[in-house]
Structure 1
């Protein structure tokens, strides 16, 4: 046991030394313990403490909070996109083999801040699930929803630790932030009430936006495999991004076929009945911050397949 603890501490010290000096002073970047405890607390709340707290209570009316939250996320993600563009993608990057900048130049530090803001936004997105719990939307708190929301910040911590000025490896983050601007705009207007429904005529294009995102990200990252030479410093991230993009393109292409070609989509008025543990199985249903998207639109960063059926979580 003593040897195991010693090895763990040795690995922990290695992480602290390996953490990029440019992000070492940012919140939640002093080591993996803080962020792991936060994510464990999130899982404990949404799977146990939250449902028990709400068991004998009526669902909270969080309409105002949801409108504020969603539009805050719109502006925050728009700012992240702007910073990504100004720190490289809209200025000096070639959009091909762009390397990690290890320097402390103003542009490199700006890219570090942009990447960190994207990472930190994943903690803010945990409120998506908190809203579900407090509104007693049990069918939307699926296992994969909770796993994704807890795993994404955890995995991004490693990316920020090793490659905060990520070069071509951070392109997918910028694209995802663009999609978040569109998605949270829809969520905010939808949460604002029926009088805003007339402004949501474009909701039928949201699934197409998701598929376009996967195509753009996959094409960009695939360049790595066809270049004569690309000395990207951490190629493992290239491979993971490519796998991630292709995997979700297949999932949501299948959803598109089921929802639009074969017409097998669940009516918006029909909500699934939750199981006792708050998880659910069943047909395809797309929801966003407690709102059913009857057009079958799905959210890239929060979307997962459950029992072969794509869900918006």
Structure 2
């Protein structure tokens, strides 16, 4: 086929994709690790996913832009749904809401449990700056963690369902709520496909997951009827804003390092 290249893992690729895949296997010319990635509680499915790292990376490199139509449909549905519900009685959905929030809370807690030790280890061993630029595809110990990055990216689409509960229960639809969902989804999908450094996403995972672990636990407790102090709600808002600032910092850091330390 003219203009295409064959890759044993990803199939037919364009020249750009083929060059990108070759760079991945050489870890983008980055420095070799002097220690393994710290992975607390290893699972068999982590290793089973390793053959799909390259194909999944190419998928997001090709289709990162799908995040835009997804967000467009999301915005149309939530604002259209709010108009539809204006003269209709609100749904209660208490049990469904408890299950929804509890499930996402557990998922976020699990990701936090996996990635906080990893992040602390990277900082302690001095790999933080190099890892911000290079995703260490070729290191087996690091490859086992990549499945969580892709699950995290897909979870941003699932989490759009949060707003359905707000609309159907006729609760206030705050700008910060839907803006956060849209920007995080677009950021994640772009980072996984075309971002300055896909490795930055590994640090963003723990940043976002830790905030969501608290946030969805808070929502689950509220749905259960447990009294939660007002300061907890205010703290969550500050955490949501802070994670956006951290994400901006991480990307600026990766951009700076790639222009200076690791060109």
Instruction: Give how far 1:64 is off.
Output: 0.8
Which residue does 1:204 correspond to in 2?
231
List alignment gaps of at least 5 residues for structure 1. Answer: 1-12, 236-313
**The residue matched to 1:127 in structure 2 has which SS?**
helix
Superposed CA deviations along residues 156-194 of structure 1, whole A, max 9, x for unmatched, are 11111246984466434312311211121111011112x
Structure 2: distance between partners of 1:121 and 1:64:
21
Greater alpha carbon shift after TM alignment, 68-77 vs 175-184: 175-184
Which residue does 2:73 correspond to in 1?
41
- 8 Å Cα contact 2:149/2:201 also seen in 1: no
Structure 2: distance between partners of 1:27 and 1:41:
24
Aligned CA distance change for structure 1 residues 131 and 209 (closer, same or farther; 3 Å)? closer
TM-score (norm 1): 0.53
Structure 2: distance between partners of 1:79 and 1:101:
21
Structure 2: distance between partners of 1:173 and 1:27:
20
Which residue does 1:60 correspond to in 2?
91
Higher-RCO chain (CA-CA 8 Å, sequence separation at least 6): 2
Which residue does 2:158 correspond to in 1?
124
Aligned residues: 206
Superposed CA deviations along residues 251-297 of structure 1, whole A, max 9, x for unmatched, are xxxxxxxxxxxxxxxxxxxxxxxxxxxxxxxxxxxxxxxxxxxxxxx
Which residue does 1:180 correspond to in 2?
212
Aligned CA distance change for structure 1 residues 43 and 28 (closer, same or farther; 3 Å)? farther
Aligned CA distance change for structure 1 residues 162 and 14 (closer, same or farther; 3 Å)? farther
List alignment gaps of at least 5 residues for structure 2. Answer: 1-13, 25-51
- 8 Å Cα contact 2:153/2:188 also seen in 1: yes
Instruction: Give how far 1:14 is off.
Output: 8.3
Task: State how 1:82-161 maps to structure 2 within 5 Å.
Answer: 82-85=113-116, 88-94=118-124, 96-99=128-131, 100-137=134-171, 140-161=172-193
Structure 1: distance between partners of 2:196 and 2:139:
13
Instruction: Give how far 1:80 is off.
Output: 1.4
Aligned CA distance change for structure 1 residues 209 and 152 (closer, same or farther; 3 Å)? closer
Higher helix share: 2
**The residue matched to 1:61 in structure 2 has which SS?**
coil
Instruction: Give how far 1:25 is off.
Output: 3.0
Structure 2: distance between partners of 1:27 and 1:189:
40
Structure 1: distance between partners of 2:203 and 2:146:
13
**The residue matched to 2:193 in structure 1 has which SS?**
helix
Which residue does 1:22 correspond to in 2?
53
Alpha-carbon RMSD across the aligned residues, in angstroms, is 3.8
